[in-house]
Amino acid sequence: MSEESHRVRFAGKHVLITGGARGIGLEIASQFAREKAIISLFDTHRQNLAAAAEKIAATGIKVYTYQVDVSNRQQVLEAVERVEATAPIDVLINNAGIGRETPFLEITEKEWKEILDVNLTGMFYVAQAVCRYMYSRKKGVVVNMGSKNGLDGEYGYAHYNASKGGVIMLTKTMALEFAHIGIRVNAVCPGYIQTPMSMEIDPPEFTQQFVDKYIPLNRAGSVEEVAPAFLFLASEESSFMTGQILILDGGQLAGQKPGNELLKK
């Protein structure tokens, strides 16, 4: 594949990205835009949506924004109908998610419900609404946002870990149900990535300590490194992949990181 064809794998394709107004979602949108896709964004934050649209539109790409709470099924159904009326959705990037650190015994019913409603139930609402249209056309691609935490839990994140474990099984089940008609469903599971959300939660000293202790590549990941995985899974380059979980974690799940005393031998 030539460099030029690689850059326009998605020319004319309509890509819907949830949680697309900042962080990984915005970077995914920007990279799809560079490959000439039509972009639709869902997010709850009106100002972030406006800023994201301005950034993408400056590249000459058509971009549509919708203020949507993915945990509200009626909002999702109405918004997806509007997106489809603009152009049939070819690719769904189910990225919207939230996280919060709370010890297990201190998680309230409200907090548990909020995390699960956005990260898992909201993903289901959007996927079901979009896949009804894809099913009628017998084509389409879905890429869900998972997490390393859905495969190997983390202290203080029981609700987040549970939601991302659910995303992995949702992905696999969707893939099984839709494979026979040509709809592919995969997930990306990032590890520790520096995003606006993570930087709001974690001070720099915590990030450095975490990296030193757990990540073999000795650094956190960036949104620019995560986004290409979504484009790969949405492209024809992954045409024989479905029901798969692509992990980008700097080696964290490979095993226990060796200490400096071993590395010096």
Per-residue pLDDT of the chain (265 residues; tens, 9 = 90+): 444 445 789 999 999 999 999 999 999 999 999 999 999 999 999 999 999 999 999 999 999 999 999 999 999 999 999 999 999 999 999 999 999 999 999 999 999 999 999 999 999 999 999 999 999 999 999 999 999 999 999 999 999 999 999 999 999 999 999 999 999 999 999 999 998 777 877 888 999 999 999 999 999 999 999 999 999 999 999 999 999 999 999 999 999 898 876 676 5
User: Residues near 120 by Cβ (< 8 Å), separated by ≥ 6?
Assistant: 163, 166, 167, 170
The model's pTM: 0.94
pLDDT at 198: 79
pLDDT at 79: 98
Long-range contacts of 23-26 (CB under 8 A, 24+ apart): 23/195, 23/196, 23/197, 23/223, 24/95, 24/145, 24/190, 24/193, 24/195, 24/223, 24/226, 24/227, 25/93, 25/95, 25/96, 26/52, 26/55, 26/223
Which residue in the list 66, 125, 160, 192 is annotated as catalytic? 160
**Residue 149 has what DSSP assignment?**
G
In single-letter form, the type of residue at position 171 comes to T
pLDDT at 265: 55
What's the full length of the chain, in residues? 265
**Which phi and psi angles does 65 have, rounded to 5°?**
-120, 145
Helix (H, G, I), strand (E, B) or coil at 241: coil
Give the closest residue to 49 by CA, choosing from 75, 77, 69, 32: 69
pLDDT at 5: 47
Q: Which domains does the chain have, with CATH numbers?
A: 14-248 (3.40.50.720)
Residue 226 near residue 1 (C-beta atoms within 8 A): no
- Whether 133 sits among the annotated catalytic residues: the reply is no
